[in-house]
Amino acid sequence: MSATRNPERSALRRIARDPHSRRKFLALTGGTGASAVLLAACGDDDDETTTTEPQEPSTSGDPLEMFGEGDLGIVNYALTLEYLETAFYADVVKSNLFKGDQLALLKVFGEHEAAHVDALKATAKDLGGKPAPEPNTNFPLDSAEEVVALAATVENLGAAAYLGQAAAIENPDVLAAALSIHTIEARHAAVLNTLAGEPPTPDGAFPVPADAETVLEAIQPFIA
């Protein structure tokens, strides 16, 4: 993905300006508040410095280039995060730290993440690219309380990562898929935040996006 991406090519901007595409997009994403906020923010502003653009890393070069160019790079970046989440929930289920309803809930979350992996791998292939390889992972699973806190952190990070790339996606179908996954990540995060004794929406009424450099740095300790 080039750091000089033309914002006029952004799928989000094209959708915002076309009523038919906007209605289709909102239907695909379930009409979520996040999607509506993004469309409103991108609808009429031609300024390339708009705050809905993903934050660029402070160092030279684009951290997503390792995953591929353009939408493929974003998809493989998201796929890497989903690999991480899937492996995390699989390890948590095997840890014997949870039982009953909490264990059942974590299993469901893991199934969601595995479905995201399958969808993103297929999307990478549809874009004519190769899916990113699955990394080896290692998570601290010392107590149930620490695991819940870590799960909340991971899910909040995932939701912020998707939001951070939304305005850079060029293909409307890829954008709709990404924001539908973002919605599930955010719902997971709200549940886990509550279980951890935190507010369900720690950023208040509007979520804060995270740039790729921040996200990749945050997940580095969990990659073996």
Higher pLDDT, 96 or 41: 96
Any residues with CB less than 8 A from the CB of 209 and at least 6 apart, and which?
54, 55, 160, 163, 164, 166
pLDDT band for 47, please (50, 70, 90 cuts). Answer: very low
- At the fourth CATH level, the homologous superfamily of domain 7-222 is Ferritin, core subunit, four-helix bundle (1.20.1260.10)
Is a pLDDT exceeding 70 seen at residue 96? yes
For residues 4-32, one letter each, b for 16 or more C-beta atoms within 10 angstroms of the residue's C-beta and e for the rest, the string is ebebeebbbbbbbeeeeebeebbebbeeb
Q: What is the mean pLDDT of residues 85-113?
A: 97
pLDDT of residue 59: 43
pLDDT of residue 224: 85
Q: What is the mean pLDDT of residues 147-172?
A: 96
pLDDT band for 43, please (50, 70, 90 cuts). Answer: very low
Higher pLDDT, 47 or 92: 92
CB-CB contact of 157 with 210 (8 Å) = yes
Token readout for 176 is 């709709």
> Would you give the DSSP letter of residue 137?
B
Q: What is the mean pLDDT of residues 15-28?
A: 47
Q: Tokens 């469901």, residue?
A: 108
Element (H, E) at 200: none
Higher pLDDT, 13 or 101: 101
% residues pLDDT > 90 (the chain): 71
Domain coordinates of the chain in residue numbers?
A: 7-222
pLDDT in tens, 48-64: 444 434 444 334 478 89
Q: Which residues does residue 137 pair with via DSSP β-bridges, in sequence order?
A: 223
pLDDT of residue 130: 96
Average pLDDT, the chain: 82
Q: Tokens 């539908």, residue?
A: 180
